[in-house]
Amino acid sequence: MEKIKIAIAGIGNCASSLIQGLEYYGNPKNQNTPDGMMAPNIGGYTAQDIEVVAAFDVDKRKVGQTLDKAIYAKPNCTINIVEPNKFPKSKVVVQKGHILDGISEHMLNYDKYPEDTTFVVDRETPEVDVVKVLKESKADIFIDYMPVGSEEAVKFYAQCAIDAHVPFLNCIPVFIASDPKWEQKFIDAGLPLIGDDMKSQFGASILSQMLQELAFARGHKVKCHIQQNVGGNTDFLNMMNQNRLKSKKISKENVIRCQNDIRHIPTDDTFLFAGPSDYIRYYKDNKIATFHLELEGFGGSPVSFDARLSVIDSPNSAGVVIDAIRYLKVAHELGITGSLHGASAFTQKTPPFPMTFEDAEFECRELAARRLTKLTEPQAHRNKKK
Ligand SMILES: NC(=O)c1ccc[n+]([C@@H]2O[C@H](COP(=O)([O-])OP(=O)(O)OC[C@H]3O[C@@H](n4cnc5c(N)ncnc54)[C@H](O)[C@@H]3O)[C@@H](O)[C@H]2O)c1
């Protein structure tokens, strides 16, 4: 089977976990184990069918390095799924992307934040022609992993995807797939896209969603839903700049608000808070989330729920991205254009259309099944359909 070729903008912790995960699940020893993956097979595609063909970053410790080195370079601080000395040499060299608003000023204050924990911008290497690289590398999917608040950079890379005719996967809370104007641009170009802002595999957002769904399904009113998050990676450091945070808070709260909207429950009835609360360097890529819910049950009787989650943030997102890549590839092969509703609702915090977990999962399964049906259709039947 032909490989799904991916290009990535932003070789930070999430990209590192994704690329290490592809190597891990590509190893014959781990090939047949579904452990850690939601969907080992999507429309005939497994994690082994994905290969990275292009990568962009702006940090001087990553630009010019081969991927096998760049994914372990500082300030990346996630856990190793594959030890650096076991990772095979990559042919892909990280190219200099376009800086735009990708780097927050406060992160360049090295008196406050040691270089190993923050960004160091490459000011010397010229920025490459991203569209040309996407075309020449024959990328099938372009993944955006910009820091939160990179409005211009995300829009720049989204436009590059359109110009190079490559489906786009927007993992961050800048609204592209959920913005009808941007969706229309992708439809006009005959391309599908998924977004916005990854919903990790077993993270704070999916837990908040399931708690909210459960409360409603069991006839409870949700009076208050508070989700706080603390971490020590560059994602959390970047979000210390409140000006970059607006869309992240909207996106995190959307996960909960969506569930009210689906059931026509006014959100004003629920006190909502979901967002990053602090940066604590010691935690590195370990994220701690706490949940506090106050509900009203039978006859108005009060219910209170408190919980704490501890996860490694970046690998928690990588499996979801491996799924989203395959949904996008399948959709593109089937000629589907625009924002994928089911796959976006399943894998992202702010999809174009709110859905319950069950409905989103159903749509994903249907999409994958459509490719398999197409593959097994007799050739004569396929020709007749054309
Ligand atoms: N579980 C998760 O970790 C999770 C979940 C949902 C969303 N996200 C979002 O995914 C994004 C990536 O997260 P991360 O932890 O990998 O962040 P990170 O800080 O580790 O990586 C960001 C990378 O982008 C690079 N960069 C900055 N500006 C750039 C530009 N203009 N062009 C190219 N590269 C540029 C940086 O040098 C860095 O390597 C963030 O926006 C984060 O909020 C992460």
What string of pLDDT tens digits covers the 386 residues of the chain? 789 999 999 999 999 999 999 999 988 777 666 688 999 899 999 999 999 999 999 999 999 999 999 999 999 999 999 999 999 999 999 999 999 999 999 999 999 999 999 999 999 999 999 999 999 999 999 999 999 999 999 999 999 999 999 999 999 999 999 999 999 999 999 999 999 999 999 999 999 999 999 999 999 999 999 999 999 999 999 999 999 988 888 888 889 988 888 888 887 878 999 988 899 999 999 999 999 999 999 999 999 999 999 999 999 999 999 999 999 999 999 999 999 999 999 999 999 998 999 999 999 999 999 988 888 876 555 555 54
How far is Cα of residue 375 from the mean position of the Cα atoms in its chain? Answer: 28
The predicted structure's pLDDT at residue 287: 98
10-60 confidence digits (pLDDT tens): 999 999 999 999 999 988 777 666 688 999 899 999 999 999 999 999 999
Distance CA 313, CA 296 (A): 32
Do 35 and 60 lie in one domain? The reply is yes
The CATH number of whichever domain residue 236 belongs to comes to: 3.30.360.10
- Name the closest-CA residue to atom 39, ligand 1: 12
- Name the closest-CA residue to atom 22, ligand 1: 12
CA of 252 to the centre of ligand 1 (A): 16
CA of 145 to the centre of ligand 1 (A): 4
Do 112 and 156 lie in one domain? The reply is yes
362, 368, 370, 374: CA torsion to nearest 10: -170
Please count the structural domains in the chain: 2
Q: How many CB atoms lie within 10 A of CB 237?
A: 22
Residue 97 has phi, psi (to 5 degrees) of -80, -170
261-275 confidence digits (pLDDT tens): 888 888 787 899 998
- Name the closest-CA residue to atom 33, ligand 1: 57
Between vectors from CA 40 to CA 50 and to CA 14, what angle results, nearest 5°?
A: 55
Q: Residue 323 is encoded by which pair of tokens?
A: 């799924």
Query: Which structural domain, as residue segments, surrounds residue 160?
Result: 4-199+315-372
Q: Which one of 312, 337, 357 terminates a domain?
A: 312
Distance CA 355, CA 132 (A): 37
CB 165 within 8 A of CB 188: no
Do 31 and 127 lie in one domain? The reply is yes
- Rounded to two decimals, what is the model's pTM? 0.95
The CATH number of whichever domain residue 332 belongs to comes to: 3.40.50.720
**What burial letters (b/e) apply to 284-298, b meaning 16+ CB within 10 Å?**
bbbbbbebebbbeee
Do 165 and 32 lie in one domain? The reply is yes
CA of 374 to the centre of ligand 1 (A): 36
Distance CA 149, CA 195 (A): 15
Q: Phi-psi region for residue 264, left (φ > 0), alpha (ψ -120 to 50) or beta?
A: left
Q: Is the dihedral of CA 172, 173, 178, 180 positive or negative?
A: negative
Do 355 and 307 lie in one domain? The reply is no
The predicted structure's pLDDT at residue 382: 52
Q: Which one of 312, 334, 364 terminates a domain?
A: 312
221-260 confidence digits (pLDDT tens): 999 999 999 999 999 999 999 999 888 888 888 899 888 8
Closest CA to 282 of 327, 224, 235, 232: 232
CA of 10 to the centre of ligand 1 (A): 6
Q: Which one of 274, 294, 312 terminates a domain?
A: 312
Do 282 and 331 lie in one domain? The reply is no
Do 31 and 155 lie in one domain? The reply is yes
The SS3 assignment for 201 reads coil
Distance CA 12, CA 19 (A): 11
Q: Which atom of ligand 1 is nearest to the CA of 10?
A: 24
Residues lining ligand 1, Cβ inside 6 A: 9-15, 56-59, 97-100, 102-103, 119, 145-148, 153, 171-172, 197-198, 200, 203, 233-235, 313-314, 316-317
